[in-house]
Structure 1
Amino acid sequence: MDGVQLLRLGKRLTDLGREMIIDPASAHLTPGEIAVVADVYRHPATSVRDIQVRTGFAQSHVSVSVARLRERGLLDASPDPRDGRRTLLSVSDWARRTIREHVARPAEPVIAKAVPDPERARHVTELLDELAGLLLP
């Protein structure tokens, strides 16, 4: 496997993962918005600046994404008790429940769609489980 194949595989796995965890109602989120929600999910009570640093996105992009996500009820905002000028962001309870429901689903149905042969799909699932065990902390 070379670097290009590894990148292509990573993108394909990302696409399959998105298909699993994103419900049809949120499928119209941009990849940037998905990255912002994912970052805030992992780092609750965070600021736009912190999101910008962790994601590498321009602050203007993060600010626009946050505004859209707040309008849709995916992010909640509250004033920072230590600095009233800052706003802290967290994933809304509704979005958190929805995310938990989607990430808890098994991957087999998505893999079976991508690899129609049942035996090969089972083998792919086994290989992915092994890779996860080896590569993920």
Structure 2
Amino acid sequence: MYLRRYILRDMDGVRLHRLGKRLIDLSRDVTTSAGDASLTSAEIAVIEDVLKNPGSPVSEIKVRTGFAQSHVSESVARLKGRGLIETFADPADRRRTRVRLSETARRAVLERAGRSADDVITRAIADRGRAERVSALLDELAELIL
């Protein structure tokens, strides 16, 4: 397999990190569009964390995202104000606030996640044939790693 030989021969930590960052940037281009509401990187991190861990307290979101508690709390307040997340009191400890995505945000995330990456990859590569090859390699990589 070409992909396997390439990774074993030429991939180092720095290159892998750069590739990961580039793929994240491309995935963000796929899942957002000019008409979408703009979110800060902290808000995106909070939404991603709450999507994966619904009903989490702010303190756990802080640990997983690496942001300061005040930063997470501010992001939660802004996202709540925009109707993207909901907060509720922990039934076991009413002083503790838990966070979940609103149904509107959940539907938007699922719709955006289903968008095809083909156009974004083609724009990034600028050669349709090579873009198709990149898409095929990414599909293979996803099967092998995920």
TM normalised by structure 2 equals 0.87
Cα separation, 1, equivalents of 2:145 and 2:131: 21
What is the percent sequence identity of the aligned residues? 54
Compared CA separation, residues 86 and 24, structure 1 to 2 (3 A): farther
Unmatched segments (≥5 aa) in structure 2: 1-10
**CA distance in 2 between partners of 1:23 and 1:41 (Å):** 20
Q: Distance in 2 between matches of 1:86 and 1:23?
A: 35
Question: How much does 1:45 deviate?
Answer: 0.9
Deviation at 1:23, TM superposition (A): 3.8
Q: Superposed, which structure 2 residues align to 1:1-137 within 5 Å?
A: 1-26=11-36, 28-136=38-146
CA contact (8 A) 1:23 1:102 kept: no
How many residues align? The count is 136
RMSD: 1.3
1:23–1:82 CA distance, 2 compared to 1 (3 A): farther
- Closer, same or farther in 2 for the Cα pair 1:66/1:106, shift >3 Å? same
Q: Any idea what the Cα deviations from partners look like across 1:81-135, whole Å, max 9, x if unmatched?
A: 1111111110111111011000011111111111121110100001101111112
Larger Rg: 2
AA matched with 1:116: A
